[in-house]
C-alpha cells in the first residue's frame, strides 16, 4: 500500500512522540508498505521524506496557527496524482479548515486515518489551561482557550472527513467515526537494554518524559517526604526527573518547599549515552501516577512501553492496557490523590533486586507484546487487538 504518514510534531530526537512516529513509519515499511513521512523539520519548515528516507519536498510554513492550514493544502497538492491509497495523520489540531482538507483528500479515493493519542480531550486541555493561569501566563492561557473553541467546532465536522480513528484507548467510535484501538508500541531494537548497576543502600527511581500534571510526580515527591520524616530509615532515596514540560516549574517549587533538593534531581532533557547511564543506575522507572487528572482510568502510555523495552521494573497508577497489574516487573498504586506508601516501593525494589536475572524477561515481554510491527499490523487488518 502507498501511504503518506504526517505528524504535526516538530522533529526532536529527544521527543518521545517524534520517536514514536518514526518507529510507526519504520514498522509500516517493514511490513512491506511504501511509506512517505511528513513532519516539521523546524518551526518554519515542513518536509516530506520519500520511502527511502530522503527529503524530497520542503514546504515553508509555520508550525502553528494558519501555517498548519497552509501545510495541509500543500500536502493535498503533493498527493494529487501520485497514487496514495492512505493518508495516516497524527495531526493535533482539528480546525474546520483542516477537516475540509481531509474531506477533499478523501474525495479523491484516498483513505484518511486520524490518530488521536488521548480521548476524551477536555480534561487534558483544561489541565493545561489551569497550569498557564496558575503561572500567570495569561496570553498562553487565552491562546489555548481559543484553540480549544475552534478545535471543538472542527471535531464536529470530522465524521464525513475521516474513515477511521486510530487511538490507544478502548473506544468503539469517536465523533461518530469507527475506531481501531491499538496498544502503544515501541521499536524494541532501537531501545538499548540497560546494564543494571544496583546501589545496595540507595533506592533510585527515574521518571522520563514531557512532564505534565497527569504524570503525578508530585505524589511520589510527597511520598518521599513522608518517608524521610520517619525516625528510622534503612535506605536513602534518589529520584531523578529527566525532561521538560509544563509541570517542571511547579515540581521544582514543591521540592524546594519540602527541602528535598538533595534527593530529587532535575536533569533537563537527556538522550543517548547520558540517558542510558541514568537508566543503568536506576532500580525502578516511574510511569504516570495521576491519569485521573485527565479523567482517565485506563490508558496505554508510550513511556511504559519504552521502560519495558529497556528492561526496568515500573511503578504506575492506572489500568494499563495489555497488563493485568500482576506481572512481576510492575507495581500498581491507586489512581487518585491518596498518599503512596513508600515502604511498598522499597519492598518492590528489593523483590526485583532478588530476581535481577529475570530482567531479560521484561524486554522479551516488549518484543512479544509491544513491538510496533505487531501493533501497526492491526491498522491494516482493520481490527482492534484483544487486550
Question: Domain coordinates of the chain in residue numbers?
Answer: 2-181, 189-369
In this prediction, residue 156 carries a pLDDT of: 78
- Give first-to-last CA distance, the chain, whole Å: 27
Above pLDDT 90, what percent of the chain? Answer: 70
Count CA atoms within 13 Å of residue 311 on its CB side.
23
| Residue 14 pLDDT exceeds 80 | no
- Residue 209's nearest CA partner among 248, 251, 182, 264 is 248
| Residue 210 pLDDT exceeds 80 | yes
**pTM score of the predicted model:** 0.87
Above pLDDT 70, what percent of the chain? Answer: 96
Q: Is residue 345 within 8 Å of 331, Cβ to Cβ?
A: yes
Distance CA 205, CA 141 (A): 33
| Residue 337 pLDDT exceeds 70 | yes
Q: What are 54's strand-pairing partners?
A: none
Q: Which three cell numbers stand for residue 168?
A: 490507544
In this prediction, residue 199 carries a pLDDT of: 79
In this prediction, residue 383 carries a pLDDT of: 58
CA distances from 111 to 63, 83, 181, 298, 334 (A): 24, 11, 17, 29, 41
| Residue 159 pLDDT exceeds 80 | yes
Q: Is residue 317 within 8 Å of 337, Cβ to Cβ?
A: no
Same CATH fold assignment for domains 2-181 and 189-369: yes
CA distances from 295 to 165, 290, 298, 337 (A): 20, 9, 9, 13
Q: Which three cell numbers stand for residue 125?
A: 486541555
Instruction: Name residues whose C-beta falls within 8 Å of residue 68's C-beta, 6 or more positions apart in sequence.
Output: 8, 61, 62, 91, 93, 95, 98
In this prediction, residue 350 carries a pLDDT of: 94
In this prediction, residue 171 carries a pLDDT of: 87
DSSP state of 290: -
- Residue 266's nearest CA partner among 274, 257, 255 is 255
- Residue 286's nearest CA partner among 232, 215, 224 is 215
Q: Which three cell numbers stand for residue 34?
A: 511504501
In this prediction, residue 115 carries a pLDDT of: 95
Lowest mean pLDDT, pick from 101-115, 177-191, 308-322, 345-359: 345-359
Distance CA 48, CA 56 (A): 6
Q: Mean pLDDT across the stretch 196-221?
A: 93
CA distances from 280 to 13, 26, 124, 153, 164 (A): 21, 27, 32, 47, 40
Distance CA 37, CA 372 (A): 16
| Residue 341 pLDDT exceeds 90 | yes
Q: Mean pLDDT across the stretch 302-322?
A: 95
Q: Mean pLDDT across the stretch 143-167?
A: 84
Q: Is residue 222 within 8 Å of 343, Cβ to Cβ?
A: no
Q: Which three cell numbers stand for residue 351?
A: 523483590
3-state DSSP assignment of residue 359 = helix
Give CB contacts under 8 A, 24+ apart, made by 47-53.
Answer: 48/4, 48/75, 48/78
Q: Which three cell numbers stand for residue 373?
A: 510491527
Work out the pLDDT band at 228, boundaries 50, 70, 90. very high
Distance CA 7, CA 150 (A): 20
| Residue 63 pLDDT exceeds 90 | no
Work out the pLDDT band at 386, boundaries 50, 70, 90. low
The class (CATH top level) of 189-369 is alpha beta
Please provide the CATH number assigned to the domain covering 2-181.
Answer: 3.40.50
- CB-based burial label for 37 (10 Å; 0-12, 13-18, 19+): buried
Q: Is residue 27 within 8 Å of 376, Cβ to Cβ?
A: yes
Amino acid at each position: 500500500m502507498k501511504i503518506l504518514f504526517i505528524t504535526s510534531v516538530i522533529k526532536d530526537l529527544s521527543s518521545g512522540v517524534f520517536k514514536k512516529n518514526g518507529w510507526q513509519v519504520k514498522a509500516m515499511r517493514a511490513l512491506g508498505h511504501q511509506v512517505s513521512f511528513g513532519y516539521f523539520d523546524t518551526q518554519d519548515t515542513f518536509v516530506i521524506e520519500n520511502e527511502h528516507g530522503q527529503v524530497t519536498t520542503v514546504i515553508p510554513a509555520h508550525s502553528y496557527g494558519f501555517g498548519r492550514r497552509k501545510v495541509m493544502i500543500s500536502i493535498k497538492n503533493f498527493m494529487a496524482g501520485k497514487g496514495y491509497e492512505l493518508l495516516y495523520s497524527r495531526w493535533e489540531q482539528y480546525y474546520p479548515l483542516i477537516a475540509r482538507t481531509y474531506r477533499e483528500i478523501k474525495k479523491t479515493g484516498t483513505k484518511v486515518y486520524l490518530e488521536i493519542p488521548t480521548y476524551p480531550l477536555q480534561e487534558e486541555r483544561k489541565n493545561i489551561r489551569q497550569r498557564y493561569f496558575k503561572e500567570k501566563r495569561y496570553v498562553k492561557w487565552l491562546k489555548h482557550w481559543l484553540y480549544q473553541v475552534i478545535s471543538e467546532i472542527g471535531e464536529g465536522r470530522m465524521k464525513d472527513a475521516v474513515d477511521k480513528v486510530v487511538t490507544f484507548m478502548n473506544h468503539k467510535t469517536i465523533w461518530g467515526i469507527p475506531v481501531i484501538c491499538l496498544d502503544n508500541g515501541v521499536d524494541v531494537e532501537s531501545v538499548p537494554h540497560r546494564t543494571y548497576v544496583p546501589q545496595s543502600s540507595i533506592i533510585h527511581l527515574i521518571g522520563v518524559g514531557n512532564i505534565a500534571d497527569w504524570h503525578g510526580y508530585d505524589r511520589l515527591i510527597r511520598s518521599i517526604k513522608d518517608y524521610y520524616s520517619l525516625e528510622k530509615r534503612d535506605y536513602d532515596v534518589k529520584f531523578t526527573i529527566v525532561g521538560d514540560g509544563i509541570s517542571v516549574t511547579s515540581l521544582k517549587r514543591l521540592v524546594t518547599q519540602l527541602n528535598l533538593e538533595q534527593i530529587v534531581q532535575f536533569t533537563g532533557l537527556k538522550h543517548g549515552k547520558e540517558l542510558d547511564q541514568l537508566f543503568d543506575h536506576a532500580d525502578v522507572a516511574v510511569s504516570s501516577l495521576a491519569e485521573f487528572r485527565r479523567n482517565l482510568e485506563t490508558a496505554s502510555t508510550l513511556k511504559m512501553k519504552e521502560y519495558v523495552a529497556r528492561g526496568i521494573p515500573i511503578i504506575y497508577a492506572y489500568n494499563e492496557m495489555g497488563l493485568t497489574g500482576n506481572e512481576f516487573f510492575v507495581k500498581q498504586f491507586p489512581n487518585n490523590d491518596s498518599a503512596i506508601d513508600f515502604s511498598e516501593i522499597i519492598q518492590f525494589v528489593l523483590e526485583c533486586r532478588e530476581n535481577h536475572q529475570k530482567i531479560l524477561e521484561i524486554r522479551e515481554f516488549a518484543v512479544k507484546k509491544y513491538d510496533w510491527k505487531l501493533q501497526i499490523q492491526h491498522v491494516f487488518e482493520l481490527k482492534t487487538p484483544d487486550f
